[in-house]
């Protein structure tokens, strides 16, 4: 049996770890609340954007437009959103797996736009080409950053350097459910025309459909990227909260076990001492 | 179409709901020039250009600098999806003036390889900001 001192030391170290995980849980709970609020605000904008783009696409039907039709280039750009910090359970590795588990993608054909240093490091280790490292925008997403990234992506898309653009992020369904999601940004997939909404008065444009698409699609892509950033932050904090909650209760369990062991060890050492004293006293008398 | 005297105006940015209220008229700048929208407008979607946004409420008028986005106009509702929009108190005058000067210089020099479209947009944004502050 381990000595009393060893058990005591071990219990102390677990206790201080538990304090850390408890504090981290509280911090991420607060951050999660803030992130969820901003995710909800973005949802408004995004829903309107989605409806508008949908209604345009439903009207123009099959149109020959670079944003809508498949390109010849085999290269794919993938925007991978992870966090800059660990201790968030499977959050980071799940997002990375979206890329590495994709079997029909050849490593040479994929270029990564990494948002979040955890994903960047993991993918670099797997041997993917990191085209850009934008880890600094992962913490506090700003729309201007999403817009700038979108500009660069669209530029190389138009030049034909890349044929497809994907977005790997973690969708925030609710506090406990976060779904790693791989989304194809471009070419825009023709969505099935929705029934119901089309009953409304037809929309007019001051400019032609093609021009409207030309101008709206970049905004659509930027809003998708921004939305994904905001949701990922919420998911990250949700995942960390869960992970830290589990860690705290595991620590609790270990402390209980160790306390029991410690008490037992103490008891047996007292018993032993008593036996020795009595034996000693008997020997003298 | 029987139209009321006012309509609901919503201005949404990715980061916040910028404005939500009842307006009698709203003016802004689009790719086809400046337009003013009154209640009962035919359904239309327009793309915005940098310019001054004027909201006419029953009692007062409000101004803001509106830089990019698009607007969905319906007879009784106008939704502006703005990428960037600022109230006057959020604008820094010295920065706007410096930006204006920079853009003008860049356009005046006409260097080869100059992104003219971008410089023009920067100039328009700066001018819109300064106009709002007037």
Grouping H, G, I as helix, E, B as strand and the rest as coil, residue A141 is coil
Residue A60 pLDDT: 66
- Asked if the domains B7-88 and B91-133 are classified in one and the same CATH topology, the answer is no
- Mark the ranges of chain B whose per-residue pLDDT is less than 70: 1-3, 113-114
Domain at A35-191+207-241: CATH architecture: 3-Layer(aba) Sandwich (3.40)
Residues ≥6 apart with Cβ < 8 Å to A158 = A66
Chain B interface, mutation test: which of A43, A45, A52, A60, most B Cβ atoms within 10 Å?
A: A45
B47 vs A45: CB contact, 8 Å cut-off?
no
Which of B40, B48, B21 lies closest to B125 in space, CA to CA?
B48
For residue A23, what pLDDT band results from cuts at 50, 70 and 90? very high
How far does the CA of residue A4 sit from the closest CA of chain B (Å)? 57
Task: Identify which of A42, A142, A205 has the shortest CB distance to residue B44.
Answer: A205
Q: What is the mean pLDDT of residues A115-135?
A: 89
B45 vs A205: CB contact, 8 Å cut-off?
yes
Q: Where are the domains of chain A?
A: 35-191+207-241
Residues ≥6 apart with Cβ < 8 Å to A214 = A65, A67
Share of chain A above pLDDT 90, in %: 35
Residue B127 near residue B104, CB atoms below 8 Å: no
Residue A116 near residue A82, CB atoms below 8 Å: yes
Does the structure show a pLDDT above 60 at A193?
no
B17 vs A41: CB contact, 8 Å cut-off?
yes
Q: Which residues of B touch A216 (CB under 8 A)?
A: 47, 70
Higher pLDDT, A81 or A2: A81
Q: Where are the domains of chain B?
A: 7-88, 91-133
Residue A57 near residue A190, CB atoms below 8 Å: yes
Grouping H, G, I as helix, E, B as strand and the rest as coil, residue A201 is coil
Task: Identify which of B14, B43, B83 has the shortest CB distance to residue A203.
Answer: B43
CA distance A193 to A196: 10
Q: Which residues of A touch B46 (CB under 8 A)?
A: 205-206
Which of A98, A99, A96 lies closest to A86 in space, CA to CA?
A96
Residue A197 pLDDT: 47
* DSSP states of B21-47: EEESEEEEEETTEEEEE-TTPPPEEEE
> What are the tens digits of pLDDT across the range B76-96?
888 888 888 888 888 888 888
Other CB atoms within a 10 A radius of the CB of residue B76 amount to 13
Task: Identify which of B32, B47, B83 has the shortest CB distance to residue A143.
Answer: B83
The alpha carbons of chain B give a radius of gyration, in whole angstroms, of: 16
Does the structure show a pLDDT above 90 at A142?
no
Question: Is the CB of B8 inside 8 Å of chain A's CB atoms?
Answer: no
Q: Which residues of A touch B42 (CB under 8 A)?
A: 201, 204
pLDDT winner (highest mean) among A140-149, A223-232, A271-280, B65-74: A271-280
Higher pLDDT, A283 or A48: A283
Chain B interface, mutation test: which of A198, A204, A213, most B Cβ atoms within 10 Å?
A: A204
CA distance A62 to A71: 15
Domain at B91-133: CATH architecture: Up-down Bundle (1.20)
For residue A2, what pLDDT band results from cuts at 50, 70 and 90? low
Does the structure show a pLDDT above 50 at A195?
no
Question: Is the CB of B12 inside 8 Å of chain A's CB atoms?
Answer: yes
Residue B32 pLDDT: 83
The ipTM is: 0.73
Reported pTM: 0.81
Grouping H, G, I as helix, E, B as strand and the rest as coil, residue A187 is coil
B79 vs A45: CB contact, 8 Å cut-off?
no
CATH of B7-88, one of 1.10.10.60, 2.60.15.10, 2.60.40.420, 3.40.50.1980: 2.60.15.10
Least confident of A65-69, A83-87, A115-119, A131-135: A65-69
On average, the pLDDT of chain A sits at 85
CA A24 to chain centre: 17
Which of A71, A40, A59, A50 lies closest to A216 in space, CA to CA?
A50
Residue A201 pLDDT: 55
Q: Which residues of A touch B16 (CB under 8 A)?
A: 41
Closest chain B residue to A213, measured at CA: B47
A42 vs B15: CB contact, 8 Å cut-off?
yes
């Amino acid at each position: 049996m381990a000595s009393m001192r060893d058990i005591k030391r071990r219990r102390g170290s677990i206790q201080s770890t538990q304090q850390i995980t408890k504090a981290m849980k509280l911090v991420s709970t607060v951050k999660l609340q803030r992130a969820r609020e901003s995710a909800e605000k973005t949802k408004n904008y995004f829903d309107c954007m989605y409806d508008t783009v949908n209604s345009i696409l439903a009207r123009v039907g099959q149109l020959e437009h670079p944003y809508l039709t498949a390109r010849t280039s085999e290269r794919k750009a993938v925007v991978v959103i992870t966090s800059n910090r660990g201790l968030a359970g499977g959050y980071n590795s799940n997002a990375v797996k979206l890329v590495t588990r994709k079997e029909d993608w050849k490593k040479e054909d994929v270029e990564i736009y990494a948002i979040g240093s955890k994903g960047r490091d993991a993918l670099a280790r797997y041997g993917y080409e990191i085209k850009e490292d934008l880890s600094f925008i992962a913490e506090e997403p700003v729309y201007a950053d999403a817009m700038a990234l979108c500009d660069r992506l669209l530029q190389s898309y138009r030049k034909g350097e890349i044929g497809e653009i994907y977005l790997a992020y973690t969708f925030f369904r609710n506090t406990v459910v976060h779904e790693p999601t791989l989304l194809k940004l471009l070419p825009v997939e023709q969505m099935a025309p929705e029934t119901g909404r089309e009953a409304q008065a037809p929309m007019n444009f001051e400019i032609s459909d093609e021009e409207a698409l030309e101008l709206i699609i970049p905004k659509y892509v930027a809003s998708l990227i921004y939305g994904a950033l905001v949701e990922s932050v919420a998911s990250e904090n949700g995942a960390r909260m869960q992970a830290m909650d589990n860690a705290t209760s595991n620590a609790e369990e270990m402390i209980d076990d160790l306390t029991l062991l410690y008490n037992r060890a103490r008891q047996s050492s007292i018993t032993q001492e008593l036996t020795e004293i009595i034996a000693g006293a008997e020997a003298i008398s | 179409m029987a139209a009321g005297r006012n309509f609901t105006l919503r201005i949404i940015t990715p980061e916040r709901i910028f404005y939500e209220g009842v307006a009698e008229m709203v003016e802004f700048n689009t790719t086809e020039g400046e337009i003013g929208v009154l209640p009962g407008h035919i359904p239309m979607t327009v793309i915005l250009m940098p310019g001054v946004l004027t909201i006419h409420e029953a009692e007062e008028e409000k101004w803001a600098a509106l830089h990019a986005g698009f607007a969905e106009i319906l007879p009784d509702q106008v939704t502006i999806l703005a990428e960037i929009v600022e109230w006057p108190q959020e604008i820094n005058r010295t920065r706007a003036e410096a930006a204006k000067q920079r853009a003008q210089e860049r356009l005046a020099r006409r260097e080869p390889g100059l992104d003219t479209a971008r410089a023009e947009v920067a100039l328009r944004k700066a001018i819109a900001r300064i106009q709002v502050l007037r």
